[in-house]
Amino acid sequence: MSPRLRWGATLGVALVILAIPRPAGIDVAAWRLLAIFAATITGSIVRPLPPAAVVLLGVLASALFGALTPAKALGGYADPIAWLVFAAMLMSSAVQATGLGRRIALHFIRAIGQSAVGLAYALAGTDTLLAAFLPSNSARAGGIIFPVARSLAEAYDSRPGPTAGRLGSFLLFSTYQCDVVACAMFLTGQISNVLSARFGREVAHVDLTYGRWLLGACVPVVVALLAVPQLLLRWYPPEVTRTPEAPARAADELVKLGPPSRKEWLTLLIFTTVGLTWATASLHKLDYGVVALAGVLALVLSGVISWESVTGDRGAWDVFIWYGGIIRLASALSEANVTTVFAKWSASLTTGMPWAPALVILALIYVYAHYGFASITAHVSAMFTPFLVVLLGAGAPAALAVAVLAYSANLSASLTHFGTTPAPIYFGAGYVSQRDWWRLGLMLSVVTLGIFGTVGLVWWKVLGWW
């Protein structure tokens, strides 16, 4: 596609939206913001400029055309979540630069490195176990699992570019997609699960406690976690699938590496301290982003990395500019009532229907509306309550309606490279193209929804939820 066509598609989307009559309940500024957001997403796909530049252009347009004040337009760069993403990228780079990442990867390979899918299951299992007590998928998947996954890819000489398909593309994408499913396993899987449980309790008087959430999720989540790596092995196969010699080779490499260096020990100490601080956030109330930035500064102060390496990490800054802008535009849409109006309009489509078809239709709309969200929390805040009210009005069993909306909110994050905070971290590593991410994310969403819509429904029937 020529640059002229790319710009035409980007600007054309905005012009089409502006030409549509504005719905009641949405003011002029909010409608302009929707047009700018849609153009920004389109531009990120067709790429008349690099994605971060397209997003920055969208942020600028929102201020120039009065959709947001300059302070609000730039507010995403003050969001702790954007800084958490940035810090996680920097910490991962430190783990790589010191050699600690390679050492950890070699230990993984020595233990379970006979196959690519075995490594994928090991990472997914670790992430799922951490989700039992670490209520931030950003910290868990982005801060702890991601450096290990990237190190494993590099241990097999797979890096962004020509060798990405050797292992890294499969391993990083599988790890992210399994994290999306793992988020649904526990009430602590990610932060907005608590919000879903609260809305379910307030609106439908269904109390999804920690134990009840886990009981309802365990069967469909386990089935989905088993399915995702196997499907990606078929749909997105790595060049390296079986490596029976890898464990012995990894053991030899560990001998050659010798004992860990001072910088490796310091990095491990800081990395572990950050992880433990994240895990105990309920005790000290420190923000995840603040903890991550403290970890980066500890790496600088200890001499593990230099300040020049922080300012010179183009990948981390690129992801920060891109994600900070996207999260601000998407959040502003929710604040401007656009997503709430859409949710109420969508819910009205099933008025008068029996509860079963209404549940199917609204669940699909609920999930695929996530193309317009950069946060599961914003998604749940805007859409959970109106959808639940309509389902209850149609006669749907309360426990079933709450379960479908609560669990599927997590699955929706599989769709895009900005759907939840770890997404830009994994995408920013450069192993998976945006085209493959959206294509495979859509395919996997159909599978995981199908599992929850079959295995899950049967399990919830056994539990007496409907």
Its pTM stands at 0.84
Instruction: Name the percent of the chain lying above pLDDT 90.
Output: 47
Q: What is the residue-wise DSSP string for 197-222? A: HHHHHHHH-----HHHHHHHHHHHHH
Token pair, residue 368, equals 């695929």
Q: Scan for tokens 């409608």, then name that residue.
A: 31
* Domain boundary assignment for the chain: 1-73, 78-318
- For residue 251, what are the CA distances in angstroms to 121, 246, 268, 367? 21, 9, 20, 45
Separation of alpha carbons 196 and 190, rounded Å: 11
Q: Is the pLDDT of residue 420 over 90?
A: no
At 242, the pLDDT band (50, 70, 90 cuts) reads: confident
Q: What is the mean pLDDT of the chain?
A: 89
Average pLDDT over residues 137-144: 83
**Do the beta carbons of residue 220 and residue 455 sit within 8 Å?**
yes
Separation of alpha carbons 398 and 200, rounded Å: 9
Separation of alpha carbons 415 and 459, rounded Å: 25
Average pLDDT over residues 128-157: 85
Q: Is the pLDDT of residue 338 over 90?
A: no
Identify the pLDDT of residue 85: 83
Taking the mean position of all CA atoms in its chain, how far away is CA 103? 27
Separation of alpha carbons 14 and 12, rounded Å: 5
Average pLDDT over residues 63-80: 91
Q: What does the pLDDT look like over 256-287, one tens digit per residue?
A: 889 989 999 999 899 889 888 887 877 888 88
Nearest to 213 by CA among 179, 195, 188: 188
CA dihedral 150, 156, 158, 162 (to 10 degrees): 180
Nearest to 110 by CA among 99, 98, 122: 122
Separation of alpha carbons 400 and 62, rounded Å: 40
